[in-house]
Structure 1
Amino acid sequence: MKLQFKHQKYQANSVQSVIECFKGQVPTKEGIDYKIDPGVVARGESRSTVSHVDGFRNAEIQISSEQLLKNVQENQRHQNLPQSTELVKTKASPINLDIEMETGTGKTYCYIKTMFELNQEYGWTKFIIVVPSIAIREGVQKSFSITKEHFLQLYSKQARSFIYDSKQLHQIESFSSDAGINVMIINVQAFNARGKDARRIYEELDGFQTRRPIDVIKANRPIMILDEPQKMEGKKTLDSFAEFNPLFMLRYSATHKTEHNKVFRLDALDAYNQKLVKKIEVRGVTVKGLAGTNAYLFFSHIDIFKNKPPVAQVEFEQKLKGGGIKRVFRNLKKGDNLYDLSNELDQYKDNFIVANIDANTDVISFLNGVELTVGDAVGNVNESAIRRIQIREAVRAHLEKERQLHTLGIKVLSLFFIDQVAKYRDYEQADEKGEYARIFEEEYQLALNDFREIFDDAYQKYLSGIDAEKTHKGYFSIDKNSKRLVDSKLAARSTDTDDVAAYDLILKQKERLLSFKEPTRFIFSHSALKEGWDNPNVFVICALKKSDNRITRRQEVGRGLRLCVNQHGERMDTPTLVHDINRLTVIASESYKDFVTALQKETIDSLSARPRKADQEYFTGKVFTTSEGDVEVNEVMAKLIYKYLVRNDYVNDEDDHISETYHQAKTDEKLAELPEPLQPYAQQVFELIDTVYSDKTLPLPEDSRKNKTNPLNDNFDKKEFQELWARINHKAIYNVDFDSNELIKKAIPALDMKLVVDRLHYNVVRGEQVDNVSYDKMKSGQGFKIKETETDSLHSSIQSHVKYDLLGKISDGTKLTRRTVASILQGMSERAFLQFKMNPEDFISKAVNLINEQKATVIIEHLAYDTIDDKFDRDIFTANQSKQDFTNAGEPLKRHIYDYLVTDSNTERNFAKELEAAQHVTVYAKLPNGFFIPTPVGDYNPDWAIAFKEGSVKHIYFIAETKGSMDSLQLREVETTKIECAKKFFSNIAKSNPEQAVKYDVVDTFESLMTMVRQ
């Protein structure tokens, strides 16, 4: 794999924001010549007698402080950032520029590109990148490696980068003497720690011609770039920066602790709304107590199905036949008794019978009053049990995502944070596996067994090639003496801080880790990866530790925010699909509510620089960019914007905060029209309004266990739909009185003429992979081509040991008496009946269908319906939903009772589009499968329920069945019969209560519907 890079507008803007600050600087081509201090090469020899080596340092800044401040302010105005009143100076540098970029948006790429642009525009060549940790340091160096060819194509030159090593000081010599772009990467501990290696940078070293490395470095007047500066704000560190004598300092971070002169902002809100980072899902585990019992329960999630009630996946304890107790995971349905399922454990004796499973609220309740919400664990729950639950949830989330993304060529990675290495790697054990490693392998295998039936063949094959022991690795500190993994704090004094076995793969071989060929998919780490390191394909993060106030939730989720790539290294950032594919699941070590609350607070705190008030003062002085130049927002324009917001209730009266009304109107695309003078700048006006902070725009994480991605919306509660639903919500029974002899006479010739049974046979298809297969071909299923096929009959003994109850099976399939079926079969010709021996199963199946078709033709005139008092529950609109893929569902619907409608039928898809566009349609619904009309040939589920505006048509309430053709000859007899039965059902309702009448018919287009409702 080779990672691909492409032009991103926001990244180009971040680069340009730095370049523009130095507008007016006269460019130099290769830096300024100077003589590098040669030092002393032999004891007693003076430096003046040693030949000098040419060096190239950065040219000094030529523009005045006043001009630089003016450039910064102009830059800020164009981005509507707070205006700086002065250049903020530090002990290290009089120029300090802040670039705020949300984690996962590519800030490393941006500052590398900024180096090339600074070199191209102004000739500067010497750069130092300072990072707070080894993980970040290695990640930065890796970024230089993987972007090397990319930047070579853009700028026709390369940057020479190296990691500072006090034992490799010749690199500093090259850094100074080379005229090209040179970058030194150094972690702060290398010059700010107490260890011997850290002090060497300030000492005169014999191996460095009795020179101090820091003196040779500072002579280059390097541009200093701080990566994550908020982690390097101790007084000693800040003072140490001055030793490098930087030309100026650029600070890149998502969370600046100290503000200087901010020249670019892409915060958490911008990044999410622009779909530049993953959407976050959260699974939290909550521990609760049970009064008077130690009954252990963990409620994982609810599964909802198309044709049956929801089930709850719950873990409980079970008594073994041979003695002892184990914990088992089972699907529970309403009425299940845990006392029975646990093999009569007394702890579940007190009415632990499932009373209700509510898929709307994610609650399971028992007859004894106990209620659990998804993620709750109760009873005898120790820390080990919680960690097992978390690992299980992480594995489940991983497999769910992997199953979806494997066909797209996207590898899924999961990252575990733990608090003690011994829990993963235990050297006291023969196999050196710790508790978490064992739990992981157990839960991984159990999850494979649970999921196996829904895996497709390609994914199944991929999984079968991966051993559970080889799919997880640990990344921890290593003790120099024992060469064993240890907790980070125990190895803090060592510079050899990485587990060599996993180090290269995780930090240096990103492409290999992203490849399907590499079995590692789960990574366990202590704290070394908590910041700085990231991988675009981390989709699951699990914190197997107690909440740590020193590590924020944003740091935890930050390791997985970057948008993923496929096996070709292509970034999966198509706007319409970004958040369908890029969803990060966090398995929290606390409740969902607590985690989300804390994450939201941290996000809000990081947005402190955003304005809170949308008042006239805020808008005054901002800048709109046009093709004819910049337009400053004067007081008159600012007043117009503010009045527009007030007039439409888009701000709250008391505090001028952006209101919920504005956000709803924007979501519904119903924003009021701007005053005429502002219309040429409409897009920029709304962008300006959106920069004002509002918690309504914060990306709220979802609970990923919830399957209800398509809930009922407000249209369901509209009086028009409720009136329509009241008219059709009737259960009924039918009775049919017809002459069996008539059916027998029709069925016999139909079977003789149409019954053709397939001989038992087998097919063999042979194929091979196509040459030069592309990603698109693989995705569309064209990666292989068929070479040949072979079909042959299966010659087996008819007198098998399988005995068929021929009369019974056909009787069950046709709902006829055995006597009637016997009469039909006896009347068949010998040729037709002997086909039973060729293929009994096919004979029975086709005979049932043919008899039912004939049955359908004789029952309509003898059919009658009687409505009963029983009605359908509202639950049929939610509980019987199936999991659906809304990837291609488009924008949310405006008139439907659900936000989305997914159908494979072009007829239904086009019909829904017409309903959405029709102004006289108030509300409509694709009726759920739970609503049906019983018929003699099977239950019938009508397609559509539609309510029209009163007065616009004759029939306000309409039930429609959509078919691609209105020609009855193209409909199967059974379909035609069901439709005729439905007509009798609705006709019966109209006759018994004319005020409750609805119109029912079959339509093929929206035009045919309108013709019928007007009649």
Structure 2
Amino acid sequence: MQLKFETLDYQSDAVEAVVRLFEGEPNHTQLFELNAAGASPIVANRLHLVRDEIGKNLNAVQRDFRLPETPIGEHGLNFSVEMETGTGKTYVYLRTVFELNKRYGWKKFVIVVPSVAIREGVVQSIRAMRPHFQTAFDHPVFQSAVYSSDRLNTLRNFAANNHIEILIMNIDAFKKDDNVINRVNESGDAPIEWISGTNPIVVIDEPQNMETELAKQAIDALHPLFVLRYSATHKNPYHKIYSLNPIEAYNKKLVKQIEVEPVLAKNDVNGAYVALKEFVSGKKKLAAKVEIHVADKKETKKKTVSVSSGDDLFDKSGGNESYRHGFIINGLNAEMGEMALSGGQIITLGESDDLIRDEVMKKQIECTIKEHLAKEKRLKPRGIKVLSLFFIDKVANYRNGGKFARWFEEIYRRETGENSDGVHDGYFSQDKDTSGKTKADEDTYDLIMRDKEKLLSFDSPLRFIFSHSALKEGWDNPNVFQICTLNETRSPIKKRQEIGRGLRLAVNQQGERVRDEGVNILTVIPNESYESFATNLQKEYEDECGIKFCNGGVKEKAKRTRQTFRKGFTLDPVFLEIWQRLQHKTRYSVQFSRDELIQTASKAVHGMPTIDKPKITVQKAAIHQTQTDGIWGEERNSWAEQADIEWDIPDVLGEIQKKTRLTRQTLFEIVQQSGRAGDIADNPQRFVDLVSEKIQTALHGLMIEGIEYFRLSENGEYAQSLARWQELEEIGAEFFMNEYTFKVNQNDGNKQEKTIFADYIPLDSNTEKRFAQDCESHEDVQLYFKLPDWFKIPTPIGNYNPDWAVVMRNRERIFFVAETKNTGKGIQDGVSEKQLSLKEQQKIVCARKHFEVFDGIEYRVVQKLNEL
């Protein structure tokens, strides 16, 4: 198969953006011939145009493409082209080489790359595009070569030849003094001078990987005529002259559309799960981050905790009984990537003993195969070969009968009735688990790059590719339609890297690009929810591309602001009068019977919904991207299957006792009378969490029904409270301004100052903001203020902080504490408290009983001021 290429409008724009920088420069073709005939064997590029003229051209190009104008002196002759992955960046800069030669006669070009993967991609691109450029530019003579320290004659040919010369160099080959190319030989010269003497035009592919001082010095040592920088993610966009960002490319259908089909585990919080995430070097001792099942007051969740040698995971887990024996950290070994536990277990970095994780990865492989076969059935008649790519983090899980290979063969045979020989293979470095930086990786990348057309052909049976080194920039294939992330821990791969391997538009067996939207859909099968996938992708666009989303997408970050208070408000008689009534603290007592608790709680437990067994869920969602609304997923389908796993049963009553603090006998009677003890085996940890929640709800309900408040003595309480106000009056308080922040009316000398705040009141809702506005304008309001977060009322379900203190005067002065809520329009005006959450309702009940022991304070739950 021979790939066919075409020049698209946006690609022509990117080429023209560079060419226009040098309008006014003469064509140097004849000049090169004269130089070649002289004494010097070097044929060099020359630039006659002065910098000021190039600067004018630069700003004209930037204006035409609506990019920020930059003065030429700011970055010198460094120019940046931003193009999203999969839109033909390599094609664009190679075409630019031929256009610059055609317009201005320049002949010497060096392409600098950061890795072997990208180098081999460039070599493959030049080979594949040679016939296209020969036709497009009337058969120019050109030579391309890869620099190698054992073939220095290549440099002499590069310097002396009088036609287009393209030299491809890895930055690591010439950025250090001891590189062969930089060593001075017997004649007193260094090989790099053969390049620098030509004043080459330097093209940097993925320049964000070459921003160190050493790399910059190495580029300068080439004595470039000018530097062109091409990337989808510029770290420093020197003189940006063209931009095609990922959102534009996606919405113009220049790349595949994306859908995600995440496979997730639900309710998988049983057992002593341990995953070693990373090591953290400290000043005194080595630490590590470990993910475990942590039990809090409400439920058990997966959570990452920091540990050092000697720590007990039982303590770190909140006393989760699964970790009581054998889970003390006996040792950490960062070099080996291991953590030793007192029970004899050795946990390896990146691994976990999560019982359900294997089931999730097996389901991911199944979903990938099914999706692949469905697309294959639809696209093969159109001459389009479908490829699927699996990202794995351990070669051992695939090679030599590893579990991924076994699962794949089993599922493929089940789905097709055929043997899987030849349809799947792995691209690894001599079957060793490497990080992508060794000589062995070069062998891997050579194979990947040189077989791209073969992979696209029906002549090759290979359709499913397992890899780990190919995660970096530089490897992709236009017919990758499925990407599956198989990691024993949650994927650490960036979303842009993940989708970038399959974004290119598909090609058919004639090597022609297929632009049908119904064909170009990339399905990603990740190990995270589609909401998380979309959120992370959006964050990467913001961080790496500087894209700003607005409206429903990314809101402007809240601004940190200082709130100031009205000077002298603590001496205001009206403030003092209401504060003297409010400042007293209370305690409460409760009364209920044990029998009543058992009856109420067992009834609540009996009425619980069915306790779900651990499940594996599969969702399918389309990913949408716009500059205004950001990136989000739209769910199209979902289904779930139960995971058939047997769990060790913990001490259920003991675990519930920790959460409720009731006696084992009482808990035994509640569970027995509920008739739900049989649910324990289905999901023991969820049983503990849900039963504890129901018992606590019943307990709190009884406590609140029988609650009684008592005022505490006034010993020093008032002075202490007033001191806190005086501190705020003096120094103010920091807060984050948002759309609900209320700006207090400035005192014009005639208007009464109605609040203790001088400028802003931090608020959390439109209801609160409307309430503040009404207080400010209402004639009867003498004083209003938001109660501080340290003003708390104790309740059995946690402290309660009311919203407002209001002093109104008509015929007499009335003191209110107001809680503002909005439950929507009901049968009559006001708040329908039954629509509030149970916890809110219970705190309101407590607040009413609390304020009953205060003289002259009216507690109300309202939506608007006029309800007072």
Task: Give the structure-2-normalised TM-score.
Answer: 0.53
Q: 1:526 to 1:66 in 2, by over 3 A?
A: same
- Whether contact under 8 Å (2:537, 2:631) holds in the other structure is no
Conservation of the 8 A alpha-carbon contact between 1:31 and 1:124 = no
Q: CA deviation at 1:700?
A: 4.1
1:651–1:582 distance in 2 versus 1, CA, 3 Å: closer
Correspondence for 1:148 among 127, 130, 137? 130
- Find the aligned partners of 2:262 and 2:542 in 1 and give their Cα distance: 21
Deviation at 1:550, TM superposition (A): 6.8
1:282 aligns with 2:257: no
Contact 2:490 2:528 in 1 (8 A): no
C-alpha displacement of 1:286: 2.2
Q: Which runs of 5+ in 1 are unaligned?
A: 37-50, 295-378, 426-431, 450-463, 478-483, 614-649, 656-692, 708-1015
**In the alignment, is the contact (CA less than 8 A) between 1:34 and 1:57 conserved in 2?**
no
Of 102, 106, 111, the match for 2:93: 111
Counterpart CA distance in 2 for 1:417 and 1:385 is 17
Secondary structure class of the residue paired with 2:241: strand
**Aligned match for 1:54, one of 32, 38, 41:** 41
Structure 1 residue 571 displacement after superposition: 0.4
Give the superposition deviation at 1:226: 0.7
CA distance in 2, matches of 1:193, 1:551: 30
**Which residue is equivalent to 2:376?**
402
C-alpha distance in 1 between matches for 2:475 and 2:556: 45
2:324 corresponding residue in structure 1: none
Alignment of 1:384-395 (within 5 A): 384-395=358-369
Q: Structure 1 residues 210, 706: CA separation in 2 closer, same or farther (over 3 Å shift)?
A: farther
Query: How far did residue 694 of structure 1 move?
Result: 6.0
Q: 1: distance between equivalents of 2:489 and 2:53?
A: 48
1:168 pairs with 2:155:
no
- The match for 1:25 is 25
Counterparts of 1:699 and 1:598 in 2: how far apart (Å)? Answer: 9
Could you give the per-residue CA deviations for residues 748-785 of structure 1, whole angstroms, max 9, x where no partner exists?
xxxxxxxxxxxxxxxxxxxxxxxxxxxxxxxxxxxxxx
**Deviation (angstroms), 1:696:** 3.7
Q: What is the alpha-carbon distance in structure 1 between the residues aligned to residue 243 and residue 522 of structure 2?
A: 23
> Could you say what the CA RMSD is over the residues aligned between the two structures, in angstroms?
3.2
| 1:383 corresponds to 2:369 | no
Q: What's the counterpart of residue 231 of structure 2?
A: 253
Change (3 A) 1:539 1:53: same
Residue among 160, 163, 184 paired with 1:204: 184
Match of 1:473 in 2: 425
Alignment-derived partner of residue 15 in structure 1: 15
Cα deviation, residue 498, structure 1:
3.6
CA distance in 2, matches of 1:569, 1:22: 35
CA contact (8 A) 1:285 1:390 kept: yes
Q: Aligned letter for 1:168?
A: R
Partners of 2:426 and 2:97 lie apart in 1 by: 35
Matched, 1:448 2:416: yes
Deviation of 1:292 after TM superposition, in Å, equals 8.5
1:415 aligns with 2:398: no
**1:58 positional shift:** 0.6
User: 2:49 aligned with 1:63, yes or no?
Assistant: yes
Amino acid at match of 2:210: M
Match of residue 246 from structure 2? 268
CA drift of 1:558 comes to 0.6
Letter in 1 for 2:171: V
The C-alpha deviation readout for 1:462-498, integer Å capped at 9, x for no partner, is xx6xx51311222222xxxxxx322223x73x43534
Cα deviation for residue 384 of structure 1 reads 2.3
Contact 2:368/2:482 (8 A) holds in 1: yes
Distance 1:269 1:603 in 2: 9
Residue pair 1:282, 1:703 contacting (<8 A) in 2 also? no
Q: What is the one-letter code of the residue matched to 1:119?
A: N
Contact 2:174–2:181 (CA<8 Å) still a contact in 1?
yes
Distance 1:504 1:83, change over 3 A: closer
Aligned to 1:74: 60
Shift of residue 445, structure 1, vs aligned partner: 1.6
Give the drift of 1:609: 5.7
1:112 shift after superposition: 0.3
CA contact (8 A) 1:87 1:261 kept: no
1:580-638 deviation line (CA, Å, top 9, x unaligned) = 1100011112222212210122224445266969xxxxxxxxxxxxxxxxxxxxxxxxx
Distance 1:509 1:654 in 2: 47
Aligned to 1:100: 82
Counterpart of 2:405 in structure 1 is 437
Distance 1:499 1:651 in 2: 44
C-alpha distance 167-654 of structure 1, shift in aligned 2 (>3 A): closer
Query: What are the superposed Cα offsets for residues 802-836 of structure 1, whole Å, 9 maximum, x if unpaired?
Result: xxxxxxxxxxxxxxxxxxxxxxxxxxxxxxxxxxx
1:555 aligns with 2:493: no
CA contact (8 A) 1:283 1:704 kept: no
2:659 maps to which residue? none
For residues 440-466 of structure 1, what are the alpha-carbon distances to aligned partners after superposition, in whole Å with 9 as ceiling and x for unaligned? 2112222225xxxxxxxxxxxxxx6xx
CA distance in 2, matches of 1:609, 1:84: 19
Could you say if the C-alpha distance between residues 549 and 245 of structure 1 is closer, same or farther in structure 2, counting changes exceeding 3 Å? farther
Using the alignment, how far apart are the partners of 1:191 and 1:183 within structure 2?
A: 17
- Which residue number in structure 1 is paired with residue 290 of structure 2? none
- Alpha-carbon shift at residue 525 of structure 1 (Å): 1.4
Structure 2 unaligned regions, length at least 5: 273-352, 558-624, 640-868
Counterparts of 1:145 and 1:16, CA distance in 2: 23
- The aligned counterpart of 1:597 is 535
Distance 1:562 1:8 in 2: 14
Tell me which of 478, 497, 508 is aligned to 2:441: 497
User: What letter matches 2:391 in structure 1?
Assistant: F
- Preserved CA contact (<8 Å) 1:135 1:529: no
Corresponding position: 1:565 with 2:507:
yes
Match of 1:486 among 425, 428, 432: 432
Q: What one-letter code is carried by the residue in structure 2 that aligns with 1:525? A: S
Secondary structure, in 3 states, of the residue corresponding to 1:56? coil
Matched to 2:433, the amino acid is: D
Q: Which amino acid aligns with 1:260?
A: Y
**3-state SS of 2:29 partner:** coil
How far apart are 1:406 and its partner, in Å?
0.9
Q: Name 1:190's counterpart in structure 2.
A: 173
Residues 683-722 of structure 1: CA deviation (Å, up to 9, x unaligned): xxxxxxxxxx964454645557569xxxxxxxxxxxxxxx
Alpha carbons of structure 1 residues 275 and 87: separation in structure 2 relative to 1, 3 Å: farther
Q: 1:284 to 1:242 in 2, by over 3 A?
A: same
Residue-pair matches, total: 491
Q: 1:201 to 1:293 in 2, by over 3 A?
A: closer
Per mean C-alpha deviation after superposition, the further-off stretch among 603-612 and 13-22 is: 603-612
* Partner SS for 2:16: helix
Deviation at 1:201, TM superposition (A): 1.2
Contact 2:482–2:523, Cα closer than 8 Å, also in 1: yes
Distance in 1 separating the partners of 2:389 and 2:635: 18
Distance 1:190 1:563, change over 3 A: same
Once residues 399 and 652 of structure 1 are traced to their aligned partners in structure 2, the CA distance between those partners, rounded to angstroms, is 38
Q: State the Cα deviation string for residues 518-552 of structure 1 (Å, max 9, x = none).
A: 01111111123421111111111112126788742
Counterpart Cα distance in 2 of 1:653 and 1:289: 33
C-alpha deviation, 1:182, in angstroms = 0.6
Quick one: which amino acid aligns to residue 204 of structure 1?
A: V
Q: Equivalent residue of 1:246, what SS?
A: coil
What is residue 1001 of structure 1 aligned with on the other side?
A: none
Residues 32/610 of structure 1: CA separation in 2 closer, same or farther (3 Å cut) = farther
CA distance in 1 between partners of 2:196 and 2:493 (Å): 34
Instruction: Verify the 8 A CA contact 2:456 2:509 in the aligned structure 1.
Output: yes
